[in-house]
Amino acid sequence: MENPCDNTTNPRPHILVEGGTEFCLGKFDGKRIDYDFYKVLAYLNAKGKSLFGEKFEIKKEDKLTFLKLSSYLVQDSESCKKMQIDLKKGILLTGPVGCGKTSMMRLVRHIVPHKKTYEIIPARNITFAFNHIGYKIIEDYGNGRCYCFDDLGVEPRGRYFGDDCNVMGEILVSRHDLFQKTKILTHITTNLNAEELEDRYGSRVRSRMRQMFNLISFDRYTKDKRI
């Protein structure tokens, strides 16, 4: 996996430290990092233990998903092309409850500390904020920052001074407008499949999501890792 590195302040952007141990993620020639996926996995496994506890381990069945997300984050155009991932779109990560979507999105962004990535915001928290603050919340999340909206589809319907609102649906429309104008990306994790997303947010939003996202899916039979 190759990645152009624009960081001039860190002479060793390919070396990350976790728990006092240095992890070399690949080779750096001063301009580009040639990532070694197995070394990236070793780092992610160590970082995962730091974030989620010593019982954390990357499962064999999840390695392909980690490869896709890691290739995407380091902007490896060749690998992404082979896996049909468009670097100009965001990530829509789907899978059953407890399969590890949120943990994975929290974890993989650490392999590129020299780059700005995304802020993870639970969709339900946005709806709760809308219920208190109102429509300003929709404006706030239509701004120029990169977000990962977590657990899309489990949030309640918004209600402000008697008005019902499909808050996340409206935010996704705003994010689509932003994407069209500026190419700023949005990412999502969800338990819902395509049909369920359309039922929840309507065909208008679903059509825009096709333009905005790469679909990366866990197998529907993936076990709940929280049990």
Distance CA 99, CA 151 (A): 12
Q: How many CA atoms lie within 13 A of 19 on its CB side?
A: 13
Q: Is residue 226 part of a domain?
A: no
Residue 1, pLDDT > 70, answer no
Confidence of residue 34 (pLDDT cuts 50, 70, 90): very high
Give the whole-angstrom CA distance, residue 72 versus residue 86. Answer: 8
Residue range(s) defining the domain that contains residue 43 = 2-217
Check pLDDT > 50 for residue 157. yes
Question: Is residue 120 a part of any domain in this protein?
Answer: yes
Asked whether residue 223 is domain-assigned, the answer is no
The per-residue pLDDT for 7 is 44
Q: For position 150, which CATH number holds?
A: 3.40.50.300
Can you list the alpha helix ranges (DSSP code H) found in 86-222? 101-108, 123-133, 136-140, 167-182, 194-212
pTM of the complete model: 0.92
Q: Does any domain span residue 224?
A: no
In a domain, residue 33? The reply is yes
Residues 6+ apart with CB under 8 A from 210: none
Q: Please count the structural domains in the chain.
A: 1
pLDDT of 98 strictly over 50: yes
pLDDT, residue 223, reads 76
Residue 124 resides in a domain: yes
pLDDT at residue 3 in the model: 58
- Report d(CA 176, CA 205) in Å as an integer: 9
pLDDT interval class at 227 (50, 70, 90)? low
d(CA 118, CA 222): 26
Token digits of residue 126: 């946005």
From CA 94, how far away is CA 48, in angstroms rounded? 20
